[in-house]
A and B are shown apart, each in its own frame.
Chain A
Amino acid sequence: MLDFGDKGALWNRPAGRSFDFGWQVFRTGESSIAAFILRRVALSLVTLVLLSLMVFFGGQVLPGNVGRAILGPFAEESAVQALNHSLGLDRPYLVQYWDWISNFVQGDMGTSYVFRSPVAPFVLDALVNSLKLAAVAFIIVVPIGILGGVVAALNVNRPLDRIISLSGLTATVLPEFVTGIVLILIFGIWLKWLPIAAAWPEGAGFWVQLYHLILPSMPLFLVLFGYIARMARAGMIEALESDYTRTAVLKGLPWHTVIRRHVLRNALTPTITVIATQAGYLIGGLVVVETLFRYQGIGSLIFTAARGKDFPVLEAGILIIGIVFATATLIADITYSLLNPRIRLGAER
């Protein structure tokens, strides 16, 4: 064995993943950014196919007989078998999968075992609700989180930085059901400022909906704030210590111009990427909050479906979340490549 013993890394230039990506694009002289996007889209599709396979087969081997579960313990065995047959559950798994996925792609997500009606409207309504909740949380947390990180970085190691970093960290590690209950107690029950149930009255307008969503979005805010602030702070500190910032300061530019023109963009590029990825996580992570606030979102829908062995709903719900997640990640990567000329122009060559 050749002993580089401790892996002398002369040939391996230190490079982050994103940089690698760009370099590859640059090196192979890929003709345009379109090729880059195309490749990423293809990758996302592969991910989704794998996910659908896992969801489907995982769902089928979940313990329990669907016909029995629907008809109850006292039904005739022949009736159970007849129901299973009519639902197509006695066919080979691969046939069932193909049937399911090809219908899914065409917008037919199957029929709910429990409600005996098409799955699609349920899932899509729930998705829209979840997206509303996530959007409210996002619109609040992104600017505040970035601002917190930037302010912390500009006051690095001073009390203000310590306060922001520490409170962000604390909020992140507290589970949503703890912060949720505390928030309900304070704002919903003692102060009575905000409604404790997220569901708004039928036909409510935009502002009423927003009013109902503020409290449920708070636990999400608390989870994400520390994360975003920490990313933004790290990016800012790195940019502030960089040589190009020194160049800008020594040009004699006013401090606010240095920050605005030279520091912010470089500092926040990685943060923005991470935020976009978090959007996917957020949709998938709503179960607790939606249950706690009795909100008809996709999280609570999946939870209910799992308990009722309502596989078509469960599978469709998880796959939808997968699609949202994959799209968010895709957007994150594209945003990053657009913000970073190293990648963008390399690709144009």
Chain B
Amino acid sequence: MTDALVLDHLDVAYHARGRDRAVLRDVSFRIGEGEAYGLVGESGCGKSTAALAAVRYLPRNGSVTGGRIAIAGEDVTTLGRDALRRLRARTVSMVYQDPGKALNPTLRVGRQIAEIFELAGASAGDARARASGMLKRVRISDPARVMQRYAHELSGGMQQRVAIAMALAKDPALLILDEPTTGLDATVEAEVLDLIAELRREFRTSILFISHNLAVVAKMCDRVGVLYAGMLVEEGPTQALFRDPRHPYTVALLRCLPRAGEHKGQNRLDTIPGSLPLPGAIITGCPFAERCALADDCCRRELPALIDLAGRFSRCHYHTRAGELPRQTPAEVRSLAHRTAPEPVLRIDNLNKTFRSRDHNLRAVADLSLTIEVGETLGLVGESGSGKTTFAKLLLGLLPPDAGGSISFDARTLPPLLDERTDEEVKAMQIVFQNPDSALNRAHSIRHVIGRALKQLAGLSGEALKARLRDLIRSVKLSERHLSAKPRQLSGGLKQRVAIARAFAGEPRLVVCDEPTSALDVSVQAAILNLLADLQAEKQVSYVFISHDLGVVRYLADKIAVLYLGRIMELGSSGRVFSGPHHPYTEALLSAVPKLDGASRARIKLEGEIPSASNPPSGCVFHTRCPRKLGPICETQEPPLAEAEPGHALRCHIPLANLAKLQGISMHQHSETVVLPTRHGRP
């Protein structure tokens, strides 16, 4: 039996600015037949480089500078051109992020799959038949139709199925998956992961699974390797490694993730100070020593070997003490006197937005009503197309809402469009974007970017501006030396701090955070979440926090609104929404999130694709996919968003008590407030 993949003391370097810069250093691991091996680590640690080196598709300036790679016993590094091509044609496949780009935009899907069989010697007709069969195997119900499509006509989940079908068409010995579900919606991600797990059993393929998402790896893999600065710092069986990590880096990574039930009101997340060594940095001791609270002189002097710990490995001198790693950020929350305000900061009544075009209307936001209290965070949850971003744009006055609804801010009605709002009103509501790269002008220094915001929003100038600038910089935990830098000289996390400072320049009352951490690594994400929580405690600012990451939303939000096709399906306090009973859609969303303990729970599967908002289903818009559909009433009558218990409203025909029973939740958990649900359909 040969191993599917062996990396043997592999060194890879990129040639940049006149010299070779090491990106992988002495990496060794093996993947046995039928095994799934996960490679985790933050961006820049060399995960993808390892995958690309294995299929010998390094960028032009990259090269293997030492060591050996073998796929199914063949040494990849020394193969000739034709032998390499044969290896790729028969033995190894790769699936990567963003399936929309991985498929050729000008060839029909069927053609792209069929050519793999043609390459293996099948006739054109035979190849088409087998391509169709392959699509069936990735659970595509109508292969003939999908074969005729171009990639852009398929949804992201379908595109990734097609990419997986292409990868498995050659029945490879090794399948490399590089962030295969990053960028997909939670329920789609769960489907694709389930599919991969099933196909793995069917095809008995070995898998190299690369992901930044520890929980996804925990769900999918038998063994895990943790990469840091191009070195394997820890390796072991998945369960053991995540339960009892033996390297401080692994420990720190796990602590950055908000655990279930953790909330900003109780504690702060731990963070990893400092940043990853740059590619090509000369590392004498342990690569993590600079950022490790356990490190001593020995760690800085001497690179630890990969120590064998009976079936697992750790590259740490003090692996037995890894679990005792002191916290880098104090857990306690500086509690400030909570000023209670009688009026909510924001009250939205019956907000609607319809995009009209010649032959159809798209109702992006429908009958949306909610309030946000002073100092409160509203978490906005839902899959793409649910209307989250449209809602944010309506709030900010970037889009005109339909007539009839109203937005009031501090008990005063807010004009719908930005141009009609007063300076005070504009100042009071600001936004932090997902991608700080495109949100900051690269030509300007940080001083200029924040200074301009202070001038425009706070009306400051001269000494007052300078003083306020220093305060602001300190409050987002940047230092003065960052002021003269240009955005490109800062890391993603620092750039996001700049964006936050800019939003806070005018002392806003409400800040819309649109996926502010989804482009960031977990350690940076933890720091930004802490920062947002601290700023809120200090300034009593309110947030509308949009995120697809339910763990993050749970940590930061006080109140949750779950959106589906522009409608609020569930609205309630964070605790209520997460503990249940849930709306069936929320239930599905929650069950789609992989858990770090790798425990596989019964997942609530959603049938089919999200319907188009321009042609929403009749009755309850969720009935076409609802696993708990009652019957005809769901198809004909749209349930109102009704309060099922104090502070918890659902848009569902099923009474709360029945939902609780269906979901196995005992209602007396919060019996003190249970009011028997009374529910009526619309008159």
Binding site for B on A (CB under 8 A): 1-11, 27-29, 242-244, 246-254, 257, 261-262, 265-266, 269, 339-342, 345
Contact = CB atoms under 8 A, between A and B. Distances in A.
28 contacts: A1-B423, A2-B430, A3-B453, A4-B431, A5-B449, A6-B440, A9-B439, A10-B434, A10-B435, A28-B357, A28-B359, A243-B98, A244-B102, A244-B105, A246-B57, A246-B96, A249-B88, A250-B57, A251-B166, A252-B86, A252-B88, A252-B90, A252-B119, A252-B170, A257-B115, A266-B104, A341-B150, A345-B150
Counting from the closest, the 8 A-B pairs by CB-CB distance are A252-B89, A6-B441, A8-B439, A252-B88, A243-B101, A244-B104, A10-B433, A243-B102
A282 to B, nearest CB: 28
Given A28-B357, A246-B57, A261-B115, A6 B98 contact: no
Interface of B: 55, 57, 85-90, 92-94, 96, 98, 101-107, 115-116, 119, 150, 152-153, 163, 166, 170, 357-360, 389, 393, 396-398, 418, 423, 426, 430-431, 433-435, 438-441, 444, 449, 452-453, 456-457, 499, 502, 505, 514
B137 to A, nearest CB: 18
A341 B426 CA distance: 43
Contacts of B431: 4, 8
Contact of A11 (B115, B398, B441): B398
Given A5-B452, A243-B101, A266-B105, 15 more contacts: A3-B457, A4-B431, A5-B502, A6-B449, A11-B398, A29-B358, A244-B103, A247-B103, A249-B88, A250-B94, A253-B89, A261-B107, A261-B115, A265-B106, A342-B105
B55 A250 contact: yes
A247 B163 CA distance: 9
Contact of B438 (A9, A28, A254): A9
A345 B109 CA distance: 14
Contacts of B452: 3, 5
B435 to A, nearest CB: 7
A2 B418 contact: yes
Nearest to A29: B359
Nearest to B163: A247
A252 B85 contact: yes
B98 A251 contact: no
Given A1-B423, A10-B434, A341-B150, A251 B88 contact: yes
A127 to B, nearest CB: 36
Contacts of B57: 246, 249-250
Contacts of B449: 5-6
B98 A250 contact: no
Contact of A2 (B153, B389, B396, B514): B396
Nearest to B151: A244
B440 A342 contact: no
Contacts of B453: 3, 5
Contacts of A265: 106
B393 A11 contact: yes
Contacts of A250: 55, 57, 88, 92-94
Contacts of B166: 247, 251
Contacts of B90: 252
A217 B84 CA distance: 47
A242 B86 CA distance: 22
A339 B150 CA distance: 13
Nearest to B502: A5
B441 A247 contact: no
A3 B357 contact: no
Contacts of A254: 85
A247 B265 CA distance: 47
A341 B357 contact: no
A27 B439 contact: no
B134 to A, nearest CB: 13
Contacts of B152: 341-342
A341 B115 contact: no
A8 B456 contact: no
Contacts of A248: 104
A161 B170 CA distance: 36
Nearest to A157: B60
Nearest to B88: A252
Contacts of A249: 57, 88
Kindly name the residue among A2, A261, A266 whose own CB sees the greatest number of chain B CB atoms within 10 A: A2
A1 B426 contact: yes
A29 B358 CA distance: 8
B464 to A, nearest CB: 18
A11 to B, nearest CB: 7
B150 A253 contact: no
Given A28-B357, A29-B358, A265-B106, A7 B441 contact: yes
Nearest to B101: A243
Contacts of A1: 423, 426, 456
Nearest to B360: A29
B439 A2 contact: no
Contacts of B88: 249-252
Contacts of B94: 250
Nearest to B152: A342
B449 to A, nearest CB: 6
Nearest to A252: B89
B106 A8 contact: no
Nearest to B398: A11
Contacts of B434: 10
Contact of B102 (A7, A28, A246): A246
B553 to A, nearest CB: 19
A5 B441 contact: yes
Contacts of A262: 104, 107
A246 B93 CA distance: 11
Given A246-B102, A345-B153, A6 B444 contact: yes
A251 B393 contact: no
Contacts of B505: 3
